[in-house]
């Protein structure tokens, strides 16, 4: 059950039990998303020249308790967790005109926040068909991830990552 089937290039282990979470009706295991992000980042090395750069983050960019902390603390944690993502993709900085995908988990529900640095947009990608209010579904996590503004986030990400 805990057999390691493979490891990604960056060392994310993929256990047999994690892969079994892909069965219909099962809750997706966190390692599947992290391994998928590694795979997509690897594929980015072969993207068509001139196409928009994409960066796929692991699930642990911010943990549950980080959302209750100050904006400054959340930003610092996010930047610290971005460093290994950039290192694993051989990026020195995030390209100015790129898409950054950050998977989030809230109440056993995964969704993705996409930072579109080209068009200065933040979008929530969610396949859930649950009839739940936005407040209950996300508990302001997307807003807390990007507060105080998209421009400041873009500036923060780009300036913080120049030094990595």
- Domains, the chain, ranges and CATH? 47-162 (3.30.310)
pTM of the model: 0.76
- CA 72 – CA 85 distance, rounded (Å): 20
Please say whether the dihedral angle defined by the alpha carbons of residues 142, 23, 60 and 153, taken in this order, is positive or negative: negative
- CA 31 – CA 76 distance, rounded (Å): 24
- CA 43 – CA 55 distance, rounded (Å): 10
pLDDT at 1: 52
pLDDT at 57: 92
Instruction: Tell me which residues of the chain have a pLDDT lower than 50.
Output: 148-152, 156, 158-164
Tokens of 92: 């020195």
Phi, psi of 51 (to 5 degrees): -80, 160
pLDDT at 158: 47
Region of 111 (left: φ > 0; alpha: ψ -120 to 50; beta: rest) is: beta
Q: Model confidence over 122-154: pLDDT tens digits?
A: 888 877 666 666 666 676 666 666 654 444 455
């Amino acid at each position: 059950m805990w057999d390691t089937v493979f490891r990604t290039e960056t060392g994310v282990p993929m256990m047999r039990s994690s892969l079994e979470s892909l069965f219909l009706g099962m809750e997706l295991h966190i390692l599947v998303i992290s391994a998928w992000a590694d795979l997509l980042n690897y594929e980015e090395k072969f993207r068509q020249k001139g196409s928009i750069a994409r960066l796929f983050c692991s699930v642990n960019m911010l943990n549950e308790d980080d959302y209750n902390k100050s904006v400054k603390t959340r930003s610092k944690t996010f930047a610290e967790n971005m460093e290994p993502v950039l290192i694993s993709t051989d990026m020195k900085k995030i390209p100015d005109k790129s898409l950054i995908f950050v998977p989030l988990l809230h109440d056993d529900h995964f969704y993705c926040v996409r930072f579109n640095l080209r068009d200065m947009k933040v979008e929530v990608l969610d396949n859930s068909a649950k009839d739940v209010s936005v407040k209950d579904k996300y508990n302001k996590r997307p807003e807390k991830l990007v507060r105080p503004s998209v421009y400041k986030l873009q500036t923060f990400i780009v300036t913080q990552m120049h030094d990595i």
